[in-house]
């Protein structure tokens, strides 16, 4: 035996001696249950009379589960981790622990499952603590009004449907219209803005998960992002707790006074998973076979997103939940539930997408109920003028389809609206700064684009973007200063019209 082994043995003996010195003989009572049936991600257990909802169960083979349903003689649980040895007759014990996930700065840049287990092939990060998956939302007295903007980098959103830090803004539309693209662009735009992002992927195909993570890496967004992944092949229990795990991670940084952004992609899949688990556990079905508490499940998740006041650290958690519609049916059960919970919605329309307008956001059905309070005053003033012109254009364009002959002034308004539509188009993965948003608003409102053809707009915006990269102007600079600078970039003599 070498000296190292001898030292280790001596240390072990000392620890055992200390344990024996502190040992107190007493009666210990433990509960023990037995697995009755298992399958489809759920298990029924006989025994455990003290079990409560959301208690974590430990199986003799190493599996883990969470209590999900209580009956008179049995306990229903959803599996969070399952080994091949798990079978009927396996012994089960209560862990006396609530469901939680390790949290801390070490998770930034990592890809983990809803239990905090790394999925990126790198050793597990050292946590700073644990965050509870289920936690009461901050009380009203701890909250502050939404007052700081969260810029997405997308022209039509930052100007017409602004989002504030601490807001819950729903992304809604049919599959394939670009809901996830908007969320990814928003994450990419948080670079160098001191916002920690948590992207939660719920029930997505592995190819979608890989593409999302690779896109974030390529754009440098993983430097401030955590990906929580419960892919389609994961246990339904993991898919169910995934959004709560992402929320718990964000709450850790919010409590430290930092700003966070959480993407839930998507809550339609989450609702279907909850319905599946509830039906397997024989809960009474309600509308569309969803259990009666599906509203409460999403409400208690999204209510945890808020802006804290200075006395509570001043941190914020902004939520961008994504929900899917079927053939544009916005009045379906889950979409209407989430619309009533959130602070506004961004609706993507299939007809706009087919016509080539990207992002295909329908302004008439989109709203931000509190984001305008956080919008910078300069952008807010200019956006108000632009929105009026855009809505008038949409009405006139609909009227012109009847083939009526229009006056010259109406034709000019329609031409101006078509130019605006070209301005609002934007490619994926190309977020724009808040300075650019203000610049193009001023240019449009002051009629600098009136003589431009729609096909020339892309070149005008590129020249404006190049000019902004070298400018010293700020959001607080006067409109006249901006107008003069924009005229120089575009080679157009400013001539504001009433």
The residues assigned a catalytic role are: 369
Residues 187, 324 contacting (CB under 8 angstroms): no
Cβ neighbors of 231 (< 8 A, separation 6 or more) are: 201, 203, 204, 205, 206, 209
Helix (H, G, I), strand (E, B) or coil at 88: coil
Q: How many helices (H) and strands (E) does the chain have?
A: 15, 16
**Nearest residue to 277 (alpha-carbon basis) of 234, 320, 217, 226:** 234
Angle CA 427–430–433, to nearest 5: 125
Residues 468, 460 contacting (CB under 8 angstroms): no
Strand partners, 104: none
What is the Cα–Cα distance from 21 to 117, expressed in whole angstroms? 37
What is the Cα–Cα distance from 128 to 102, expressed in whole angstroms? 7
- Phi/psi for 38 (5° steps) reads -150, 140
The secondary structure of 311-371 as a DSSP string is GGT--EEEEEEEEE-STT-TTSHHHHHHHHHSSEEEEE-HHHHHTT-SS-B-GGG-EETTH
β pairing state of 259-265 and 74-81: unpaired
**Nearest residue to 469 (alpha-carbon basis) of 484, 492, 443, 489:** 489
Q: What is the largest CA-CA distance in the chain?
A: 102
């Amino acid at each position: 035996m070498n000296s190292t082994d001898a030292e280790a043995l001596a240390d072990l003996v000392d620890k055992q001696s200390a344990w024996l010195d502190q040992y107190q003989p007493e009666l210990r009572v433990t509960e023990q249950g037995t697995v009755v049936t298992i399958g489809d991600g759920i298990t029924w257990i006989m025994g455990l009379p003290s079990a409560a909802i959301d208690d974590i169960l430990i199986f003799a083979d190493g599996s883990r589960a969470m209590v999900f349903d209580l009956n008179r003689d049995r306990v229903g649980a959803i599996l969070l981790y399952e080994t091949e040895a798990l079978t009927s007759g396996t012994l089960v014990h209560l862990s006396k622990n609530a469901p939680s996930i390790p949290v801390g700065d070490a998770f930034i840049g990592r890809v983990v499952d809803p239990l905090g287990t790394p999925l990126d092939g790198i050793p597990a990060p050292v946590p700073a603590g644990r965050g509870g998956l289920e936690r009461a939302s901050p009380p009203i007295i701890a909250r502050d009004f939404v007052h700081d903007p969260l810029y997405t980098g997308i022209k039509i959103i930052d100007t017409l449907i602004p989002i504030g830090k601490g807001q819950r803004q729903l992304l809604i539309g049919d599959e394939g219209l670009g809901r996830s693209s908007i969320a990814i662009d928003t994450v990419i735009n948080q670079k160098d803005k001191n916002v920690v992002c948590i992207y939660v992927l719920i029930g997505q195909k592995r190819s979608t998960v890989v593409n999302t993570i690779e896109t974030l890496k390529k754009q440098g967004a993983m430097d401030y992002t955590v990906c929580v992944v419960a892919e389609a092949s994961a246990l339904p229990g993991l898919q169910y707790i995934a959004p709560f795990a992402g929320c718990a991670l964000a709450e850790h940084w919010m409590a430290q006074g930092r700003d966070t952004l959480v993407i839930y992609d998507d809550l339609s899949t989450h609702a279907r998973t909850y319905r599946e688990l509830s039906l397997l556990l024989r809960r009474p079905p309600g509308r569309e076979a969803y259990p009666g508490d599906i509203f409460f499940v999403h409400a208690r998740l999204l209510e945890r997103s808020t802006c804290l006041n200075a006395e509570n650290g001043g941190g914020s958690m902004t939520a961008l939940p994504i929900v899917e519609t079927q053939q544009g049916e916005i009045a379906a059960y889950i979409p209407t539930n989430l619309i009533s919970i959130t602070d506004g919605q961004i609706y993507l329309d299939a007809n706009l997408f087919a016509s080539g307008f990207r992002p295909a956001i329908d302004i008439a059905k989109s709203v931000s109920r509190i984001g305008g309070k956080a919008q910078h005053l300069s952008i807010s003033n200019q956006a108000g003028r632009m929105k009026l012109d855009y809505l008038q254009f949409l009405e006139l364009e609909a009227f012109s389809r009847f083939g009526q002959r229009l006056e010259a002034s109406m034709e000019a308004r329609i031409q101006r609206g078509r130019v605006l539509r070209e301005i609002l188009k934007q490619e994926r993965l190309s977020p724009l700064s808040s300075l650019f948003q203000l610049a193009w608003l001023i240019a449009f409102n002051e009629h600098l684009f009136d003589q431009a053809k729609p096909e020339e707009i892309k070149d005008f915006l590129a020249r404006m973007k190049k000019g902004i990269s070298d400018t010293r102007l700020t959001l607080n600079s006067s409109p006249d200063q901006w107008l003069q600078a924009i005229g120089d970039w575009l080679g157009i003599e400013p001539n504001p019209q009433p």
